[in-house]
Structure 1
């Protein structure tokens, strides 16, 4: 497995720490999960008509579109 050294701003490091704490994971695991989402977004961006979105599941199990993630 490869190792990677990153320099993060204090704001990004603090945000990463909070995400890790909330999810009971390490910062390394949080970064791995973030990369997995980035890879999915990048893959879908290559397909015509596809984009990454945020949805909410309603009580009746229907889905409500909240928004589209852009800039990835």
Structure 2
């Protein structure tokens, strides 16, 4: 596994720490997951698709699109 150093603003580092703690994972794992999401977004963008934020009703399995992720 390769390693690299990254500089983060205090705000980003704080948020990364919060997310990792909430998920019970390391900050490195949180960054790996973020990279996987970014990679998926890029592949979908190449196909002319975009990512969306959806809310699913567990009773009816209806899906409501709340927003679209842009800028990835």
* TM-score, length basis structure 1: 0.94
**1:27-42 map, 5 Å:** 27-42=27-42
State how far apart, in whole Å, the 2-side matches of 1:64 and 1:26 are.
32
Q: Say which SS state the counterpart of residue 7 (structure 1) adopts.
A: coil
State how far apart, in whole Å, the 1-side matches of 2:56 and 2:24 are.
24
Partner of 1:51: 50
Aligned residues: 71
Q: Say which SS state the counterpart of residue 21 (structure 2) adopts.
A: helix
**Alignment gaps of 5+ in structure 1:** none
State how far apart, in whole Å, the 2-side matches of 1:56 and 1:34 are.
21
The CA RMSD measured in Å over matched residues stands at 0.7
State how far apart, in whole Å, the 1-side matches of 2:4 and 2:62 are.
41
Partner of 1:17: 17
Q: Say which SS state the counterpart of residue 6 (structure 1) adopts.
A: coil
State how far apart, in whole Å, the 2-side matches of 1:11 and 1:33 are.
19
